Structure 1
Amino acid sequence: MKKIIIPVIVLLFIIPSTANAQFEKARDSVIQLFGIVMSSDSLYGIPSVSVTVKGSSRGTITNEQGVFSIAVLKGDEIEFSHVSYKPILKAIPRNLEGNQYNIVVLMTEDTVYLPAAIIRPRPTPEQLARDFVNVKVADDELEIIRKNNTKEMQRAMLRKTAYDGREVTNMQLNMISQKARYQGQIPPMNIFNPAAWSEFIKSWKRGDYKRK
């Protein structure tokens, strides 16, 4: 029994010490990376630069002054990318001492050349005038709003728009109130009500009773 217990006890002491050594090593390899990204020609800070660790989903972006901060590991490769600048790849030294590292990144503008566009005039002034008159110009936002705000369009939208919850509830409560008000007697007829006739004439003129 002693030959079996002794190795087990030794193993129980070895495993925690090994785990603590690995944890201390991993904690020592984590550093806080501080830096600023600037343009190489004017040395102005570049905002909204994507700063990511290559091969992982960890990253951040620079602020309005081009400053960033991110936790990385020693030996990581950091990618800097922006839509208007050429991407840059920076490596963190593996033999770095301490847990902080500062870096200045200079990015160069990426110029994109579009294919050449050749503009040719119309052969004759008559053809130019004809094409200019026949070209249909799309309505701007103000014109679209003006067309949608006419009386005809409002009535059309009113006929197609369903009642909302508040309107349905008010109609139901009004019906209940009318039934309770004239309970036990004959409700009055609106045929002699001038207000009802006025509303009927307005509805007739609007075309509310036309077949759809």
Structure 2
Amino acid sequence: MNKRLLSVLFFVCLFAAKAQAQFETVRDSVVQLYGIVMTADSLMGIPAVSVTVKGSNRGTMTNGQGVFSIVVLKGDQVEFTHVSYKPKTITIPTTLDGNRQSIVQLMVQDTVYLPATIIRPRPTPQQFERDFVNTDIQDDDLEIARQNNSAAKRRALMQTLPGDGGGATAIQFRNMANRATYAGQVPPMNIFNPAAWSEFIKSWKRGDYKRKN
């Protein structure tokens, strides 16, 4: 066995030992965090509480009884948030013994004050009728969909929007069929085709050939 082979084996063993040490370190830092989130005043389980690890995409939610379970690392900051309660943040100790930790997290109800809304009546019925008639009501989704499906709207969209995959494929196949049909000869002119003239007149009346700014 030459020196080069011994050197290669030495570096392989060193790399394997280092990888094993790193794996043991990571495995030792993984913690299974589980527990229950409860109200601070009545000690009732809070459902749908978001339990997330800050700085990562890991998270979970409490079930109907407020119970949760999540895998974290030692030193992580775990945040508990709910729309009706003040958020809470805890830090997993780096000196924690073992790989399991249970907690009972209490949350205090948060009160949100909305600005006051004052409703005043119209001075006279005549003014109410005038304002009601002149109020500009925005179109709802159904009316917008109906307008987008009108014939004029579809014609305008056809002039600006590119064709989809099906339309582009149909045009390509039609062009290939025309080239195969008239291969070796001059394609016929549509100047004497009454149907083509009829379609041209309809397009001209619709304004399809107007200059677009």
* TM-score between the two structures when normalised by the length of structure 2: 0.65
Distance 1:204 1:107 in 2: 71
* Residue 49 of structure 1: aligned partner: 50
The residue correspondences of 1:140-159 to structure 2 (distance < 5 A) are: 140-159=140-159
Query: Where do 5+ consecutive residues of structure 1 fail to align?
Result: 1-19
Determine whether 1:85 maps to 2:124: no
Q: How many corresponding residue pairs?
A: 187
Q: 1:190, 1:196 within 8 Å by CA — same for their partners in 2?
A: yes
Determine whether 1:176 maps to 2:162: no
% same residue: 50
Change (3 A) 1:171 1:93: closer
Question: Secondary structure of the equivalent of 2:109?
Answer: coil
Question: Secondary structure of the equivalent of 2:86?
Answer: strand
Determine whether 1:31 maps to 2:24: no
* Residue 3 of structure 1: aligned partner: none
Change (3 A) 1:45 1:189: same
Task: Compute the displacement of 1:154 (Å).
Answer: 1.4
Q: 1:33, 1:102 within 8 Å by CA — same for their partners in 2?
A: yes
The residue correspondences of 1:17-28 to structure 2 (distance < 5 A) are: none
Change (3 A) 1:79 1:28: same
* Residue 113 of structure 1: aligned partner: 113
Residues 53-92 of structure 1: per-residue CA shift (max 9 Å, x gap): 6xx647522254441212232x766432223311224455
Residues 128-187 of structure 1: per-residue CA shift (max 9 Å, x gap): 11111111000000001111111111122222334454255235424523540xx24x54
Determine whether 1:62 maps to 2:61: yes
Q: 1:35, 1:69 within 8 Å by CA — same for their partners in 2?
A: no
Query: Where do 5+ consecutive residues of structure 2 fail to align?
Result: 1-19
Q: Which stretch shows the higher mean deviation, 24-33 or 60-69?
A: 24-33
Q: Larger radius of gyration, structure 1 or 2?
A: 1
Question: Secondary structure of the equivalent of 2:47?
Answer: coil
Task: Compute the displacement of 1:191 (Å).
Answer: 5.0
Q: 2:49, 2:80 within 8 Å by CA — same for their partners in 1?
A: no
CA RMSD of aligned residues (A): 3.8
Question: Secondary structure of the equivalent of 1:152?
Answer: helix
